[in-house]
Amino acid sequence: MSAALGMAAVPADGAALTTAQATACPTGWGSLGKTVASTTTAPLTDIRTGRHACYDRMVFDIPGGGDGLGYWVGYVDHLYQDGSGRLIPVGGGAVIEVRVAAPGYDPETGAPTYPGRAGRPLPGTDLTGYRTFRDTRFAGSFEGETQIGLGVRARLPFRVLQLNDRVVVDVAHNWTGAR
């Protein structure tokens, strides 16, 4: 099995491809805002991050939210907290605002389901070693939407995926698709 992993692909013209060429990163995501209009009463329970070869990832877990979760994700000059209008400083060369159409609290009881505190880094998130992510800030959960700020190295392309019970934000390491 290890021998197969070390082999280079050989195209029809006989020139060997390097591993980096064989596993090129996706391109074409763009940096314009992305949105899906939908709401849920299922509450947000976790926000987690991960490192990948081509991008850094942030995942919003909303158990019971299904596959039609709403969101708005886009670059902003500054992050302002919904309701109060308070400026929340976010570190990095650029700031992505993420709004997920799910509350960070139980709508029936008002009890928090996500332990974020306004203006503070996301709990349990350590960005040490990330190529793109620089900072995270919880802005709050207001009128059924949860808002966070994601500080990134520079204005880079990103994509948003809706998965069952999750919204995923991937931010590329660069514009070219090179590793």
What pLDDT, on a 0 to 100 scale, did the predictor assign at position 23?
A: 62
Average model confidence (pLDDT) across the chain: 88
- The residue-averaged pLDDT of 84-94 equals 96
Q: What is the dihedral of CA 105, 110, 115, 117, to 10 degrees?
A: 100
Q: How far apart are CA 147 and CA 144, in angstroms?
A: 10
* DSSP calls for 58-87: EEEE-TT-TT---EEEEEESSEE-TTT--E
Structure-model confidence comparison of residues 84 and 156, the more confident one: 156
More confident residue, 16 or 105: 105
| Local confidence band at 165 (pLDDT 50, 70, 90 cut-offs) | very high
pLDDT for 47-66, tens place per residue?
999 999 999 999 999 999 98
CATH architecture of 2-172: Sandwich (2.60)
7-26: string of b/e by CB count within 10 Å (b at 16+)?
Answer: eeeeeeeeeeeeeeeeeebe
CB atoms within 10 A of CB 60: 23
pLDDT at 139: 97
What CA–CA distance (Å, rounded) separates 50 from 171? 11
Q: Mean per-residue pLDDT for 156-165?
A: 95
Query: If 0-12 CB within 10 Å is exposed, 13-18 middle and 19+ buried, where does residue 56 land?
Result: buried
Note the pLDDT of residue 68: 81
Residue of higher predicted confidence among 41 and 148? 148
At residue 24, the pLDDT reads: 81
